[in-house]
Amino acid sequence: MSLKKKASRRSRRLKNPEKLKDLGLETTKQKKKKKPYFGKDAHNAVVEYQSTDVREEKHKIYDDKIRPSFEKLAENLIFIHGFSTSKSHFDVLKSDTVSFLYEILEKFDPSRGSKAFSYFNVCAKNFLIIQSKKRLKNKIRHISIDDENLSMSEKYQIERHQVIPSSESMFIRSEDVVILKNMIKKIRSKLSNQNELLCIDAIITIFDNIEDLDFLNKRAIFVYLREISGLNAKQLSVSMSNIRKHYRELKGSNREYDLFCSLY
């Protein structure tokens, strides 16, 4: 058999998918495509999450189907755009991004025809850009006392601002907590709406367990309130607005509950 005929037979054999599979020589195109981490299943899970009002079902859908996609999305954005260079900061930034995405989970509107990935990808990227700008701004403001370019006078001025709060200030702060708890209980007695009661009870629970919480900031408190009360973002926002009205009425001209004036 001529070399030309042998080459022709070999070419036909390699183009046959079954022959390639037997030989373990599947091409890249013939291999099964990898399932996307935030594809149609994750999109449907978001829609399913929004369609149910049962708290336990929401938690299960989020933990099983949505959170892994959020975590992978946050990881990819942080790595691709270089938002973090250290492991410790990466973990914190990833956690904050996932918490942010959880907060806006109810805001996605599938009726507009957009995909969940496109919406949350843009939101997460904008969030990371804002956090990056904040970090850069704080870094510029930060001055190290070990900086060799600082004079002795400048180092002395920096040291003067490193003070420990006085015992009087610490006592006043502890008194404020007591006043605040009494004020919250007073406000609760004025509420009748079920959502507002759920919201205020969630606030009381946070105060009672404040020492057991890992970290506290505005975003974390919002997530805690959602988890404890079972209310969605809109319900929680409306309830908090009504509670603030009761606070302003309760404070009035009585300085007993005015925490912002307690130090003066």
Q: What stretches of 52-151 show up as alpha helix (H) in DSSP?
A: 55-61, 67-81, 87-103, 116-141
**pLDDT tens profile 133-149:** 888 877 666 666 566 66
State yes or no: pLDDT of 156 exceeds 70: no
All structural domains of the chain with their residue ranges: 40-142, 170-261
State yes or no: pLDDT of 237 exceeds 70: yes
Q: At what angle do helices 233-251 and 194-208 cross, to 10 degrees?
A: 80
Using left for φ > 0, alpha for ψ between -120 and 50, and beta otherwise, residue 82 falls in left
pLDDT in the model for residue 23: 46
The mean-pLDDT minimum among 32-46, 75-89, 130-144 falls in 130-144
Cα 93 to Cα 85: distance, rounded to the nearest angstrom:
11
C-alpha gyration radius of the chain: 29
State yes or no: pLDDT of 260 exceeds 50: no
pLDDT in the model for residue 21: 53
Give the predicted TM-score (pTM) of the model.
0.47
Cα 71 to Cα 91: distance, rounded to the nearest angstrom:
11
CB within 8 Å of 240: residues ≥ 6 apart: 199
